[in-house]
Every structure is written in structure tokens, then in C-alpha cells.
A = this chain, B = another copy of it.
């Protein structure tokens, strides 16, 4: 009786939280795609009201009692319910350990801090942002203490975004990169003096959109279960497996930019669309982790989208949309443009080879912050010197240096590594797929169904019921091994 009662409460809690998350996700989507300029104040009020509901629903004695009982009596539960309890208990522990007033103050700080970051970036002036960053970091350090975990303090943050991730694993990964990729980048940066990563021409947005829809459908996006829209920065958001939304940004003078971002976001979206439909509206019905999610966008973008076969499949369509502008451009030109590498200052514009080094720099800096080895005032100099060390270039100002990313202003420490891990997981997954499927041939004929079936069976369907490491082990037959990624990069770009 007790058990049934608690399971009923578990389902109720799950449903409540998901309805709030649905609303929050839609508000976020709307704010980035459509909402009018001046709508921010009232939207913030609404979001803060919903956040209060979330907090009050999750952090209360009734929930604690239920989650504690079901955690201690887990053997009585089926696997799905076990996963729900695990996820909710983790979420409960994380927040419940923070003194409520401090949690509320932090939410307010983040809101101010994001605005300060935006202003500072516009002014190219780190000093305007650093007092806020200081406070955000102080909170993060207190947060780590509250969680009372063993081991390296930074592990607590890494684990929040990628279950099981530690400094040890991440160090090992980036050591590999430092050894093999950094020398390669330095060597290539002498060769690639001129930018050949775009196609000249003025490409009408409406026609670019036509190609985006074509690609989404071909790649396996269920078109009646999603939306494509435009936003400043491309992103994916899932309201449910039947409503996954992506955005892109069209540039009339840069055709490849929106194509790559559409492929990338479609990878994220297909993951969400293929989570087991029996999971319903539940915390288990979304991607396993940031890293696994990024592996799905990167496998589509890097491993499929930047291949020659991919362009053999889709270039005739693109050419039919822009017959005049593309009449002298062949698939080889596109392939070269998409795989051109050159060290650059801005992470989100980086090529496939140099991208992980941008992440490595952020990782090393974050680690130093939580090892108390660097002061907030000294971060810009540290940032710039690391860019010089690993990429051979130095930011000319803070906007193209330490202020370029929004993440730290929002308190997202420990998040960046998942971007690089995603690319690495993607290569390991690709190797595993290739054992059973002729990937090149599938791509060449534009038929992604076999590939998507593999991804769904081995990754997508599980949602959050498996941890990242469980997924990698079961899907590829071994633990995460950064060697695949490093070998791939060195053989492709050498």
C-alpha cells in the first residue's frame, strides 16, 4: 500500500514538473524566436513565478519522503520508475542542499549577471562584468561545498552536465588532444593563409529555407512533429518527442553557415523525436546528457554533413535551388570549404579541427578557478595567453576573447567540456555503426533510415534511463575512448 501510494506520488510529481518545464521551454523558445522587443519584464515575472512553483513542488518534505522511500526500496520498481526516482532524487539533493534564500538570491544574480555580460561584451570591457562573475563563481564554490562530494571540487560541476564525468577522465581526453592536435593545428596554420570557407554569392533567405526543409526531412526529422524557425543563434528545444523545434540563422552572403547549423540542430532534434514513446510526459523523456546530445548533433554535422558522400547526395538539390549562383561550383569545392581549417578566435565559428582546442582552453581555466589557482581579475590575461599557446593567435579585445560566450554569466561552469566530448563520442559511435552499416553508401543515396535505426536502438530510445557511460559501453562495446576522435582528426587533417 505504502509503495503504491508513493509510486502514485512519483507520477504526480513527474507530471507537475514536466508541465512547468514545458511552459518554461516554450517561453524560452518564444523569447528567442518571436517575442517583441519590450516584452522582457513581464516574461521575467512569469518565469520567476513558474520557477517558484517548480521549487515548491520539488523541495518539500512530502517529495523528500517519497523519493527517499523509493530510493531505499528501489528493487521493487521497474526500470523506468527507477530512472525517474534516480533523476528526481539527484535534482532534489542538488537544490535542497542550497539554503533557500541563497538559491533565490542566486537566481536573481544570474539574471543581473546575464545583462551585465551583454553590456560588457558590447563595450568590449571585461571590468564591467567581472564583479558579477566574481559573485557567480563564489556561489559555484559554495554550491560545490554544499554538495559534499569526495574528490576534485570541479567534479561536482562536471557531473551535473555529464553524469560520471571527472577531472581525471577529462584531463586524459584533453592531454591526448594537446599531444596530437595542437601540433597539427600549428603546422596547418602556416598553410591556410586564405579564407576559402565560403561560396561567393547572395543567397536569398527564402530559398535557403527551402533547402533547410529538404535536408531536415531527408535526414529523418519527422516534419509533423517539429518546427524550423530563425533566431540569432541556432538552437534546439524539445517540448515533447512530438514537438521538437530547431532554429537556424540565414546569412545571405554565407550559404554554408545555415546549412551546417540546420544539420547540427537536426541531429539534436532526431534524438528527441526518437525517445521511446511509452515514456510519455516524464523527466526520463529527454536526452541522456549534454555530451550524448552533442554527439548526435556532431555526428550529423561533422561525420555525415562534412563528408563528400553527403554532398554527392544533396548537392543536386541545392544546385537546382540556386542554379545560377552555383553553376561553377562542384562538390569538391564544397567539401574543401567545409573542411578548411584555420585557427580563429571565436568558438562558435571554429572549424572541426580547432574547435576542441577552444573547449580545452575553457576547461583548463575552469579547473584552475575551482583549484583556486587564478583570480577573477586575472582571467582575461590567462585566456589570451592560452589562445596564444594553443592556437597561435591572441584576442584583440575582451569581446573576441573572454566575453564571447554567454555561459559563465549564467553560471554554467562544467558545461563546456560536453561540447568537445560530444564530438569525440560521435566518432566512437560512427566507428560502431560502421561495423554493421555501409555509412558512405547510405549517405551517398541520401537514405538515413538504417543509420537512424541504429542511433535510435542504441542511443535515442533510452532517453535519460541510461547514463552516458552506460550508453557508450552498450552501443560501442567499450568505454569512452578519446583515441578514436584524436586518430580521426589527425588522419583527416594531416
A binding-site residues for B, Cβ under 8 Å: 15-16, 18-20, 22-23, 26-27, 30, 34-39, 41-43, 45-50, 52-53, 222-227, 229, 239-243, 280-281
B227 touches A42 (CB 8 A): no
Shortest A217–chain B CB gap in Å is 13
Q: Which residues of B contact A47 (CB under 8 A)?
A: 19
Of all chain B residues, the one with the shortest Cβ separation from A42 is B240
Complex: A208 Cα to B50 Cα, angstroms: 38
A278 to chain B, nearest CB (A): 13
- What separation, in Å, do the CA atoms of A224 and B40 have in the docked complex? 11
A sample of 25 cross-chain residue pairs with beta-carbon separation below 8 angstroms, ordered by A number, consists of: A15-B45, A15-B49, A18-B45, A19-B45, A19-B53, A20-B53, A22-B27, A22-B49, A23-B26, A23-B27, A36-B224, A36-B225, A36-B226, A36-B242, A37-B225, A38-B225, A39-B240, A39-B242, A42-B242, A42-B243, A43-B239, A45-B280, A45-B281, A49-B281, A53-B53
Find chain B residues with CB under 8 A from A242 CB. 36, 38-39, 41-42
Stoichiometry (number of copies): 2
Chain B residues within an 8 Å CB radius of A45: 15, 18-19, 22, 280-281
Known: A42-B281, A43-B239, A46-B239. 15 other contacts (CB 8 A): A16-B49, A16-B53, A18-B49, A19-B50, A20-B49, A20-B50, A22-B42, A22-B46, A23-B26, A23-B46, A36-B227, A38-B242, A42-B241, A45-B280, A46-B281
**Interface of A: prevailing SS:** helix
CB distance from A353 to the nearest CB of B (A): 37
A23 to B18, CA, bound (A): 13
